[in-house]
Structures are given as C-alpha cells and as structure tokens.
C-alpha cells in the first residue's frame, strides 16, 4: 500500500508547510534523537491555533487537493500499534499489518490517528512518561516522513476512575465521572480534566476519548455505570461541558461519547448490540442534552455508539452505521461541525452484522469521520477504496471527512509542532501539585449512605480491623492506609466476588475476633450469582453483631442486596487514591461530603427508592 515518495508529494508537503508558515524537518530530526523541546508552541503543545476559521479551512483545502486517494483514506483510520517505541518489533504488528514496527505501520498506511493501550489489551504503549513521549515523537516523525506528511492524532481512553483508563502511575490517578459528580463541584471536575489533559499533552497524546456524556438511568447498565456523571440530565450536561473546558485548558482535544446516549441499557456493546427504547421526546429530555451542552462548549469530537435506537432510525441500523442518526441528527439537527468518531469497530456491537469489509464503508456513508480500530485493516482499507472508486461513497463524502480531520489538526497546531519534550513529560506527569490536588478531590467523593448506631467514624481506641471482600490490590491499599492510623492492626482476607460457604465461614469466624470488619463489595447489586454470594457474606457478618462497614467500590447500588448493614459508603472507584480516602473517612480524619449522583432503588421494587438522588450523610 505504501507508494514511493514522488516529487508531487514533496512539493505538496512543502506547500502545506509554507501555508502554515513553519516546517518541522529539524524537529523531526531531533525527535529521532529524543532531544525535542516543547518550546516550539509554548508550554503546552496541542493548544488550538488562533488562525481564523476561514484561514484554517483554506489551508486544509490546499492540503487536501494535493493528497492521493490512498492518503485521504489513510486519514480516516485510527489504529493500534504494538510496542513501547516506534522501532520496537512485535509479532502482533506482523500479524495485523505485515510489518514489524509501529513506525513501519505508520509509513505503510499513513493513518490519521493512532490510539494507545496499556499491556492489558496487548499493545503496551504506555509504560512511563519518557517512554510514552519518545513513542509519540517517533510515530509523529514517521508520519511526517511518509506520504502527504500529515501529523497524527494520538488518542487514548483516559476517563479517570478505575474502569476505563490506560495510563497508570506515575500518571496522576483521578476519580471517575460519577465520583466527581458526587462532589457536586464543577471546579473539581474542571481540575480533574485539566490535570489529565496536561499530563496527556506532555507525553504527546493530543486527543482524549472523554468525557462520557451518557446519562446512566439504568442501575443494571453493564458498560457505562460509574463512567457516567449520573442519572440526572442537568447534572450530566453541566459536568460534561465543564470537563470539555478542562481538557481543552490542559491541551488535549475532547470527545463526548457515546452518541446518541448509552445510559439506559442492560447489554454491553462490547459483547452484543443494545437497543435503546426511548422515544424521541425521551431522548430529547434525557439523553441528548449532555451532547448539546458539549457542542455549545466546543467539544472537538463526538463518538458514536453501537446501539440500536428505533425511534431515531426504524431500519434498526446501529447508530454508528445510521445516516439518520449521524448525519441527520448530529450534523444537521444538532449542528455539530467537529469530528465524528466511531466507537471501536472491533466491538461485537459493530462486528455482529457488519464484517470488516462492510463496517467502515457503512460508517463512512453514515457520516463518520474517524474509523476507530477497524479489524483487518488491509480489508477495511481496500473496501473503502473500492467504495470510493465505485461511487458507493462519493468522492465529496470522503473529502468532507478528510477536510474536517485536517482542519482539526491545523487548529490543534499539530503541523508546526507535533513533538514533545521527554524530560518535561517526566516532570509533568504525576507532579506533586497534581497528586496533591487529586487527593483533595478524591476525599470529597466518598459518600456515606447509611450509618446506624454510630458505626462510623471508627473510634481511635479501636485496635483491630478485618479487611475483607473483593480485590487483592484494593484490600491491600485500604489495609495499608488503616495500619497507618492510631497504631491499628489489620488482617486481610480476600474473598473475590463469589465467596463460597467455606470462605464465608472463615471470614465470619475471623470477624468475631476483630473490633470491626470492613467489606469491599463490587457489583453486588448485579443479578448474578456473584451478587448473591457477596450478600450472603455480608449478611453472615452482620449477624455476628460486631461492627460491620461495607463500601461499594464500584457501583453505588450494592446496598440494595444488604439494606440492613450497619454502615455503607460508596467510593465509585477501587483505585489506591480512593482506598486511601476511604480509610481517612472511616477514621473520621476526613468528613464524608459526597452526595449520590443516582438514586438507589429497592431490589424488590425498582420504582421505590431506598435512597434518593442527592442523599448523603455527614459526621
């Protein structure tokens, strides 16, 4: 697919650079030596340019006219690459793309973007700040030396919280959206997005697929949950707009997802195709306001959802493949002029009925600009090429998307300065100031839902604490934080999400010999055997008559399973910062200040609330 660099390509690249008044050839050479400085564009690369919209459009159009068909098609795709440097050889690169290194993948396909993942998925792109910055610089150098020499959008899913995140410590760990909404502080939401954005920009990541704009009105939602700001549309709209502003100040592009709203489903689009049964009036009242708010705030990208919404498209095409939803509703009715990105096209919600040679074409026909993680890239690329040549995708439709992508890259100042400074990245990511602010924000998220007979705070004279329930790492983090208080001694017994009768008996017997027991519950409200088993454990502990405290460390709904527990808190996250904040709240060093961003319905009657939206106790 790689074509030899022709004189026409060289002239096009020179013309594009001249139009921008800058050239990056020296920076590209420095990138290969790891000697780049971010001073080319100021403290934060990726800040929007101040050129007029008309000037940006004209410059993008000039670049577009000089691009070949394959160069245009490449701009549509956002791909993953395997390895921690641009020159790392990896068997998965060979299997997926036929070349060994990330740089060669970029040179072969000339994609518009690359998305980073950590080792849990496999690519292992994000290990530590200097390495990430070096990888970003290497990929940008490869992009600037290939084809039309257009810099990359380098993307990531860094939502905050402990569900969808890629960069681990030393990156600053922030609470997720529902936790932030529990503070009711837009300042906290802004600062959280600003910190994330600043650290991403420092390592050369210029597009964050965040914030989540879904309104989570279904407690059984398996894929959104705490990734949402909550169940209240007005609250979600306010916090989504605030997060967009924070990401922009931090120096990265933002992306509101998952359009037109993924909050009322009990099916995970990673494994199936959910159906949203809201009427159009319900969509206007519940789901669309956060996206409207994001658009008003200037969100750069909106990501589509692999969901069926019959009230918007009776053909039952998934939103990503629906012209009525993507073009008719988002472009024309809501007036969004930025980038429209697909959710990952390798998800089951996309692949079930749309094979690799169909999904990218249908998404492009619907009006999407960025085709994210299309499986079998050679097949997808050839399918789009053939669709354009045959007229199934008009040339104008392709050009519209590429024009928007180029305009976005121009506005984000990527042409003159796509590179970052490795030493500055190491100083910025996980800085003392960022970690201090994150600690303050996290402590305000903890929500005390139930506290009977003075179960909390734990008295300073209380000596022994049993820490049990789900999660080896969260239990260890909580135990460490409790051990540091007043000379307390903790014992840890991990039970998993489905403790059997033997484990329940062991933990119950241990609880009788401790002054208090703290249990971490995870998705205990779910309708699975996992939830029932956790409930049996907690009921057995409560029956001892000892002091028992339960923390729902992901979803706040878990108390539905054990409504009579003496004390219950919601942390919305099981990361170490949240466990440290929980320990300080348990001891009374920090007063609980959070309030529920969702109601908690009764298990036997979903129409009756055990605890209403806005509930939260204090001491």
d(CA 91, CA 86): 14
Q: Of residues 343, 369, 408, 514, which has the active-site annotation?
A: 343
Q: Is 270 a catalytic residue?
A: yes
Structure-block tokens of residue 7: 């004189």
Pick the catalytic residue: 270, 323, 486, 615?
270
Query: Taking Cα atoms as reference points, which of 545, 560, 561, 549 lies closest to residue 596?
Result: 560
Count of Cβ atoms closer than 10 Å to residue 316 Cβ:
12
Q: Which residues of 428-447 are buried (b: 16+ CB within 10 A; e: fewer)?
A: bbbbeebbebbeebbbbbbb
Beta strand residue intervals within 87-133, DSSP E: 113-115
Residue 66 sits at the vertex; the CA angle it makes with 62 and 72, to the nearest 5 degrees, is 100
Dig out the tokens for 468 from the structure: 């049990």
Phi, psi (degrees; rounded to nearest 5) at 551: -120, 120
Nearest to 137 by CA among 281, 49, 27, 252: 27
Parallel, antiparallel, or unpaired for β 516-521 and 207-208? unpaired
Instruction: Give yes or no for a contact between 74 and 111, defined as CB atoms under 8 angstroms apart.
Output: yes
Angle of helix 395-411 relative to helix 377-390, nearest 10 degrees?
Answer: 120
Q: What is the distance between the alpha carbons of residues 242 and 475, in angstroms, rounded to a whole number?
A: 33
Q: Which two tokens stand for residue 398?
A: 């392709």
Residues 185, 440: Cα–Cα separation, whole Å = 12
Beta-carbon neighbour count of residue 394 at 10 Å?
Answer: 12
Omega cis (within 30) before 320? no
d(CA 396, CA 611): 54
Q: Clarify whether 343 is annotated catalytic.
A: yes
Q: Where are the beta strands (DSSP E) in 89-246?
A: 113-115, 153-156, 207-208
491 strand-pairing partners: 466
User: What are the start-end ranges of the H helices in 145-170?
Assistant: none
Residue 531 CA: distances (Å) to CA of 169, 391, 604: 30, 53, 15
Backbone angles phi and psi of 141, in degrees to 5: -60, -40
Q: How many CB atoms lie within 10 A of CB 94?
A: 15
- Other CB atoms closer than 10 Å to residue 310's CB: what's the count? 13
Residues 6+ apart with CB under 8 A from 187: none
Rounded-to-integer distance, Cα 394 and Cα 18, Å: 30
For the annotated catalytic residues, the residue numbers are 270, 343
């Amino acid at each position: 697919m790689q074509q030899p660099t022709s004189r026409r390509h060289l002239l096009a690249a020179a013309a594009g650079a001249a139009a921008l008044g800058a050239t990056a050839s020296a920076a590209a050479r420095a990138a290969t030596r790891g000697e780049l400085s971010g001073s080319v564009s100021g403290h934060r690369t990726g800040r929007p340019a101040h050129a007029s919209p008309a000037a940006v459009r004209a410059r993008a159009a000039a670049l577009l006219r000089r691009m070949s068909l394959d160069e245009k098609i490449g701009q549509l795709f956002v791909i993953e690459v395997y390895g921690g440097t641009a020159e790392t050889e990896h068997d998965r690169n060979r299997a997926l793309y036929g070349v060994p290194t990330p740089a060669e993948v970029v040179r072969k396909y000339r994609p518009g973007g690359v998305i980073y993942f950590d080792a849990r998925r496999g690519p292992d792109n994000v290990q530590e700040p200097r390495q990430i910055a070096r990888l970003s610089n290497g990929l940008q150098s490869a992009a600037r030396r290939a084809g039309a020499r257009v810099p990359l959008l380098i993307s990531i899913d860094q939502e905050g919280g402990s569900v969808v995140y890629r960069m681990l410590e030393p990156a600053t760990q922030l609470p997720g959206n529902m936790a932030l909404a529990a503070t009711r502080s837009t300042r906290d939401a802004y600062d959280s997005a600003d910190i994330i954005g600043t650290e991403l920009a420092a390592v050369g990541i210029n597009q964050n697929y965040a914030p989540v704009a879904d309104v989570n009105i279904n407690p059984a939602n398996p894929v959104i949950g705490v990734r949402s700001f909550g169940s209240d549309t007005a609250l979600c709209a306010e916090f989504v707009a605030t997060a967009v502003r924070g990401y922009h100040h931090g120096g990265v592009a933002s992306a509101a997802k998952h359009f037109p709203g993924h909050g009322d489903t009990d099916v995970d689009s990673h494994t199936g195709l959910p159906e949203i049964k809201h009427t159009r009036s319900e969509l206007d009242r519940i789901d669309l306001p956060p996206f409207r708010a994001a658009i008003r705030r200037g969100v750069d990208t909106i990501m589509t959802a692999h969901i069926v919404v019959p009230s918007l498209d009776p053909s039952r095409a998934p939103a990503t493949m629906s012209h009525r939803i993507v073009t008719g509703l988002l472009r024309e009715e809501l007036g969004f002029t930025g980038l429209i990105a697909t959710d990952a096209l390798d998800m089951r919600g996309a692949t079930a009925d749309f094979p690799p040679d169909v999904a990218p074409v249908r998404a492009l026909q619907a009006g999407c600009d960025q085709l994210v993680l299309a499986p079998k890239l050679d097949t997808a690329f050839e399918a789009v090429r053939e669709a354009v040549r045959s007229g199934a995708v008009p040339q104008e439709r392709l050009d519209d998307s590429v024009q928007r992508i180029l305009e976005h890259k121009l506005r984000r100042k990527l042409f003159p300065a796509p590179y970052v400074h490795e030493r500055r990245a190491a100083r910025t990511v996980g800085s003392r100031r960022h970690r201090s602010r994150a600690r303050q924000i996290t402590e305000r998220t903890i929500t005390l839902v139930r506290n009977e007979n003075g179960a909390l705070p734990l008295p300073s004279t209380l000596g022994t604490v049993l820490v049990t329930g789900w999660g080896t790492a969260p239990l260890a983090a909580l135990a460490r934080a409790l051990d540091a208080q007043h000379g307390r001694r903790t014992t840890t017994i991990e039970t998993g999400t489905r403790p059997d009768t033997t484990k329940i008996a062991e933990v119950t017997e241990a609880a009788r010999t401790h002054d208090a027991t703290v249990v971490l519950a995870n998705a205990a409200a779910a309708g699975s055997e996992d939830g029932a088993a956790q409930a049996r454990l907690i009921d057995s502990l409560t029956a001892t008559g000892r002091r028992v405290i339960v923390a729902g460390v992901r979803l706040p709904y878990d108390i539905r399973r054990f409504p009579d527990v003496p004390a219950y808190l919601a942390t919305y996250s099981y990361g170490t910062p949240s466990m440290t904040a929980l320990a300080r709240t348990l001891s009374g060093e920090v007063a609980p200040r959070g309030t529920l961003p969702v109601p908690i319905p009764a298990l036997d009657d979903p129409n009756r609330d055990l605890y209403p939206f806005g509930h939260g106790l204090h001491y």
